[in-house]
Amino acid sequence: MGLLWEDRAWEEYLYWQTQDKKTLKRLNAVIRDIQRDPTGGMGKTERLRENLSGWWSRRIDEVNRVVYYEQDGIIHIASCRGHYEK
């Protein structure tokens, strides 16, 4: 599956490249797993609710999550730093 990064998510990804290689390595592993199976797998997959219905969250580490949804074979990544916002 292809990836489409929201501007904010891409900036967060670039942050990890310069600030924390361990988190970046884990993030890359989670993203690869999302591409294989968007609704299950590593990272404690969570289906979001209410105004984020249709979106998913996966744990990168204790503090950070990847927030995304899948549409027509494309993974849309909205965030990869911090927790999701309602």
- Which sequence positions are flagged as catalytic? 46, 83
| Cα–Cα dist 49/16, whole Å | 27
Amino acid letter, 85: E
Residue with tokens 């993030």, as numbered in its chain = 27
Q: Judge contact between 69 and 54, C-beta under 8 A.
A: yes
| Cα–Cα dist 49/36, whole Å | 23
